[in-house]
Amino acid sequence: VAATVTPPKRATYRHGDLRRALIDAGLELARADGPDAVVLREATRRTGVVPNAAYRHFADRNSLLQAVCWEAQRLAAETIEAKLAEVEPDEDAAAWARARVRAVGGGYLCFARHEPGLFLTAFSVPTDMSGITGIDEEGKRRPGPFGLLAQALDDMVLAGALPVERRPGAELLCWSAVHGLATLVLEGPLRAMSDEELASVGERVLDMVDRGV
């Protein structure tokens, strides 16, 4: 859709960090038009480099997409963490834990709304993120979106807000509900929905999860 944006210029022969630059370019493409828009040639073009240069850093187009996908997941996790940080501590531990789970869901929906392309890239590209384990970022291991949810649910159990026997698999219930709403709104038949509508339906979905889990 969008034409080549960045005028490719470079002083040095070596690029510096081409790998990083390609991922960033791919991220922009994904942001604008979703995972299918992560086109190897376009990424190199925007980086001011010849197409095959990418093969020094990625085995093929798919490897690049994979890297972009992880990055998108990391960004999603950041949005969720921001929402989590907004939750103010409550004396009632159960209520607080509950609020945190809601915040995870809210952050997820928020990310879907504001970064539709990245959302699709993060969550509909075949990647194994089912583990609770996280994502590398500058060396540290941090929990991904799924990990944050799992953690919040664990906290609910600790706070006595969720019976232990209901805990296993609870991630899936939460995730399904919220993910479903997100995709229906993004690519599905609910695209016409306004921000307010989404917010209110979002709350209702979270209510349902809260009551039903």
Partner DNA sequence: TGTACATCAGTGAACGCGCGTTCACTGATGTAC
The contact set with a copy of itself (CB under 8 A) reads: 36, 123-124, 126-130, 146, 169, 172-173, 175-184, 187-192, 201, 204-205, 207-213
Q: Characterise 38 by phi-psi region: left (phi > 0), alpha (psi -120 to 50), beta (else).
A: beta
Cα separation, 39 vs 113, in Å, equals 23
Q: Is 2 in the site for DNA (CB under 7 A)?
A: no
Residue selected from 5, 20, 60, 208 as contacting DNA according to rule CB under 7 A: 60
Cα separation, 55 vs 201, in Å, equals 45
| Start-to-end Cα distance in the chain | 42
User: Which residue's structure tokens are 């504001």?
Assistant: 114
C-beta of 180: minimal distance to DNA in Å?
Answer: 29
The answer to whether residues 16 and 53 touch, using CB atoms and an 8 Å cutoff, is no
Cα separation, 154 vs 165, in Å, equals 12
- Give, as ranges, the residues between 114 and 133 that touch DNA (CB under 7 A): none
Select the span of 10-18, 101-109, 145-153, 180-188 touching DNA (CB under 7 A): 10-18
C-beta of 119: minimal distance to DNA in Å?
Answer: 21
Grouping H, G, I as helix, E, B as strand and the rest as coil, residue 135 is strand
Q: Is 28 in the site for DNA (CB under 7 A)?
A: no
Nearer to DNA, 22 or 148 (CB): 22
For residue 142, the cross-strand partners are 135
Cα separation, 141 vs 128, in Å, equals 16
C-beta of 53: minimal distance to DNA in Å?
Answer: 4
- As given in the structure block, the two tokens for residue 73 are 């997941």
Residue selected from 20, 56, 114, 166 as contacting DNA according to rule CB under 7 A: 56
User: Which residue's structure tokens are 């698999």?
Assistant: 169
Q: Considering CB under 7 A, how many residues would be counted as binding DNA?
A: 23
Dihedral, 99, 105, 106, 112 alpha carbons, nearest 10: 170
C-beta of 124: minimal distance to a copy of itself in Å?
Answer: 5
Q: Is 113 in the site for DNA (CB under 7 A)?
A: no
Nearer to a copy of itself, 58 or 146 (CB): 146
Partner in contact with 189, chosen from a copy of itself, DNA, none, beta carbon below 5 to 8 Å by kind: a copy of itself
Which residues of this protein are in contact with DNA, per CB under 7 A?
10, 12-16, 18, 39-42, 49-57, 60-62
